Structure 1
Amino acid sequence: MSRIVVVDIDGCIGCEACVEECPEVFSMGPGDLAQVFNPEGADEKKIEAAMEICPVNCIFWED
């Protein structure tokens, strides 16, 4: 993967939508906020589905 998925924890509301959509990549971390624990755990299409389901759009790609 040439880019890596990142969660902006300052924007995260802890809804767990990304974890439900893509548990291979996301988990709940400190403060009950989403975190990326395995950035290569799923293909980009599945990660992008988690990005799209995020109600606060705090998941993005970083080069």
Structure 2
Amino acid sequence: MTNDPAIAFRVTALEDNQPNGREPILGGILRKKAVWVDESLCIGCTYCSCVATNTFTMEPDNGRARAFRQDGDSTEVIQEAIDTCPVNCIDWVKFEDLDDLRSQLNAKTIRPLGLPPLR
């Protein structure tokens, strides 16, 4: 048996290997919008991170949701996570707005959930 590297160009890929929303999606059609969580409004319910596990996580210091990956889940799964948010703190935004939104969020004082308000 010989090792012929040309065989890689003759083998066809599996056609039924479709994403199911539970694995990272690499490549494919780029989204026109990015997903953004306004952590200052988040109440830490964890719904979004339970629905779209490859896109949202709970930020450990303040206990609020954060989008850690833009290509983690299908658009439909991310939209389902957005729809489950009880305080509507998740939105589709332009990719070019992400840096400004992050700067605005960093300028806010966000206290960890469960602590009394500052007086």
Q: With structure 1 as the length reference, what TM-score do the two structures score? A: 0.95
Work out the percentage of aligned pairs sharing the same amino acid: 35
Among 40, 47, 60, the residue aligned to 2:78 = 47
Paired residues, what number?
A: 63
Cα deviation digits, residues 21-45 of structure 1 (max 9, x gap): 1111000113010001111111111
Among 13, 18, 35, the residue aligned to 2:66 = 35
- Is 1:4 aligned to residue 37 of structure 2? no
- Equivalent in the alignment of 1:13: 43
CA distance in 2 between counterparts of 1:39 and 1:27 reads 12
Q: Greater strand share, 1 or 2?
A: 1
Q: What is the Cα-based RMSD across aligned positions, in Å?
A: 0.7
- Equivalent in the alignment of 2:93: 62
Q: With structure 2 as the length reference, what TM-score do the two structures score? A: 0.52
Bigger relative contact order, structure 1 or 2 (CA pairs below 8 A, ≥6 apart): 1
Q: How much has 1:2 moved relative to structure 2?
A: 1.4
- Equivalent in the alignment of 1:26: 56
Greater Rg by CA:
2
CA distance in 1 between counterparts of 2:87 and 2:53 reads 18
